[in-house]
């Protein structure tokens, strides 16, 4: 009798537990159907643990569409082939990293103009988006500008490169009061020329300066135009801009360019490189003084003696690096043109010799500023 009573009690207990388990499951399902995103996410987890991927996908997706961050992360992890869709859901859920990812994709899309892109994301606040808006405001909203800059591409898919240019300018050590604008020129044509495949492009856009975004070739600069490619780094952009500001290359120029520059046929003044006849013989005091007088960085020197050294018998050009930070130091600019020697103000390797150094000596920045003030 006691055994039978225990059996009945056990059956009732197990029946109660079973009834409670089913009720909890039914309750979760009912809540998920009613739109509870937490229960939808938990139900999806349970299905995934059971190996039922179809139902897990269905309930994670429903939760994600209502803004469940956890469900979105699960979808990204287990169904990565639909990343674009999950990123869009994440952006709607105000996840900053997803907002940035979607905005960057649209920035590289030809479907959106720069104006429409800004409108689409004007209500979203992330550090990255704020930075892009700040760049545009800085360079497009000047009341008065010293110069106008048109950045020209053949498609709105290149508008991200426009912002990359503005970022390079903003992060440079140059003081620039320029107004910029983004231009899409469907008729833009570029060809590759010379041994180094320099890109040469033509556009009818009018501005003081042009930066043209080419599909191939290497970056180059002329008096009013710079051609960049998608591979042009910040350091390259700043190096090319420096040409506009009066700085010459300090690496060996090609034969054709070296001939023009070193023989004085170059039409633009160089602030950082001067050229003399190449000679191993001593030079006269009067020659040194004459060179001193034509140095753009003369004001950074204390005397004509800073640019030459006396051997005891005669003078030789070139400063003693142990005594002078700014003086006269050999540059490689004219290596390809026999009979000429190029000189620069500092001994160190600058960004005009190797752009990747991003090293802009103080004297270079002072020369640029002085030239700008004179021009104004």
Dihedral of the CA atoms 214, 220, 222, 226 (nearest 10)? 40
Q: What is the pTM of this model?
A: 0.80
pLDDT at 289: 95
Q: Is residue 44 part of a domain?
A: no
Query: Are residue 297 and residue 359 in the same domain, yes or no?
Result: yes
Bridge partners, residue 181, by sequence? 150
pLDDT at 282: 81
Query: Are residue 217 and residue 273 in the same domain, yes or no?
Result: no
Query: How many Å apart are CA 36 and CA 41, to the nearest integer?
Result: 9
pLDDT at 192: 73
Q: Is residue 42 part of a domain?
A: no
- Overall number of domains in the chain: 2
Query: Are residue 188 and residue 259 in the same domain, yes or no?
Result: no
Rounded-to-5 percentages of helix, strand, coil across the chain? 50, 15, 35
Q: Is residue 183 part of a domain?
A: yes
pLDDT at 112: 95
- Edge-to-edge strand list for the sheet holding 178-184: 178-184, 147-153, 209-213, 225-228, 220-221
pLDDT tens, N- to C-terminus, the chain (376 residues): 444 554 444 344 444 444 444 467 788 888 888 889 899 999 999 999 999 999 999 999 898 888 888 888 888 889 988 888 888 888 888 889 889 989 999 999 999 999 999 999 999 999 999 999 999 999 987 668 889 999 999 999 999 999 999 999 999 999 988 999 999 998 888 877 766 667 777 888 889 999 999 887 777 888 888 999 888 899 999 999 999 999 999 999 988 889 999 998 876 779 999 999 987 678 889 999 999 999 999 999 999 999 999 988 889 999 999 999 999 999 999 999 999 999 999 999 999 999 999 999 999 999 999 987 766 5
Q: Is residue 272 part of a domain?
A: yes
Element (H, E) at 240: helix 234-244
Domain C-terminal end among 242, 265, 289: 242
Query: Are residue 294 and residue 351 in the same domain, yes or no?
Result: yes
Query: Are residue 355 and residue 296 in the same domain, yes or no?
Result: yes
Query: How many Å apart are CA 2 and CA 319, to the nearest integer?
Result: 112
Query: Are residue 301 and residue 339 in the same domain, yes or no?
Result: yes
Domain C-terminal end among 242, 277, 312: 242
pLDDT at 3: 42
pLDDT at 162: 96
Query: Are residue 213 and residue 275 in the same domain, yes or no?
Result: no
Query: Are residue 225 and residue 325 in the same domain, yes or no?
Result: no
Query: How many Å apart are CA 217 and CA 197, to the nearest integer?
Result: 5
Q: Is residue 24 part of a domain?
A: no
Q: Is residue 147 part of a domain?
A: yes
Domain hosting residue 188, numbered range: 125-242
Query: Are residue 285 and residue 227 in the same domain, yes or no?
Result: no
Nearest-10 crossing angle of helices 96-107, 83-92: 120
Query: Are residue 200 and residue 276 in the same domain, yes or no?
Result: no
Query: How many Å apart are CA 251 and CA 243, to the nearest integer?
Result: 13
Q: Is residue 51 part of a domain?
A: no
Helix/strand/coil (H/E/C) assignment for every residue in 191-219 = EEECCCCEEEEECCCCCCEEEEECCCCEC
Which two three-digit tokens encode residue 48?
């995934």
Bridge partners, residue 309, by sequence? 316
Query: Are residue 209 and residue 159 in the same domain, yes or no?
Result: yes
Query: How many Å apart are CA 269 and CA 374, to the nearest integer?
Result: 14
pLDDT at 53: 92
Q: Is residue 212 part of a domain?
A: yes
Nearest-10 crossing angle of helices 159-170, 96-107: 110
pLDDT at 12: 42
């Amino acid at each position: 009798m006691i055994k039978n009573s225990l059996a009945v009690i056990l059956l009732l207990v197990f029946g109660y537990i079973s009834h409670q388990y089913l009720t909890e499951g039914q309750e979760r399902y009912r809540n998920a159907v009613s739109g509870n995103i937490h229960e939808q996410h938990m139900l999806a987890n349970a299905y995934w643990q059971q190996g039922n991927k179809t139902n897990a996908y269905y309930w994670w997706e429903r939760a994600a569409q209502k803004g469940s961050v956890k469900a979105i992360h699960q979808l990204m992890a287990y169904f990565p082939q639909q990343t674009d869709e999950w990123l869009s859901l994440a952006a709607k859920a105000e996840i900053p990293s997803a907002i940035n990812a979607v905005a960057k994709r649209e920035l590289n899309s030809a479907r959106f103009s720069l104006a429409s892109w800004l409108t689409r994301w004007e209500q979203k606040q992330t550090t990255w988006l704020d930075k892009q808006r700040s760049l545009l405001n800085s360079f497009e909203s000047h009341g008065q500008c010293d110069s106008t800059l048109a950045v020209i591409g053949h498609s709105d898919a290149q508008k991200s490169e426009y912002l990359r240019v503005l970022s390079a300018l903003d992060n440079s050590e140059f003081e620039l009061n320029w107004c910029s604008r983004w231009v899409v020129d469907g008729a833009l044509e570029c060809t590759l020329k010379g041994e180094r495949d320099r890109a040469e492009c033509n556009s009818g856009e009018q501005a003081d300066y042009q930066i043209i975004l080419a599909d191939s070739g290497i970056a180059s600069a002329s008096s009013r135009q710079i051609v960049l490619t998608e591979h042009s780094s910040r350091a390259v952009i700043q190096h090319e801009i420096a040409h506009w500001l009066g700085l010459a290359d300090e690496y060996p120029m090609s034969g054709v360019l070296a001939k023009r520059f070193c023989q004085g046929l170059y039409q633009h003044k160089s602030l950082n490189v001067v050229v003399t006849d190449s000679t191993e013989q001593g030079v006269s005091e009067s020659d040194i003084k004459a060179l001193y007088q034509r140095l753009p960085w003369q004001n950074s020197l204390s005397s004509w003696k800073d640019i030459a050294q006396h051997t005891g018998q005669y003078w030789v050009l070139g400063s003693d690096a142990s005594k002078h930070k700014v003086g006269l130091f050999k540059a490689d600019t004219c290596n390809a043109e026999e009979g000429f020697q190029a000189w620069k103000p500092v001994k160190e390797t600058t960004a005009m010799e190797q752009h990747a150094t991003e090293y802009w000596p103080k004297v270079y920045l002072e020369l640029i500023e002085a030239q700008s003030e004179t021009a104004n």
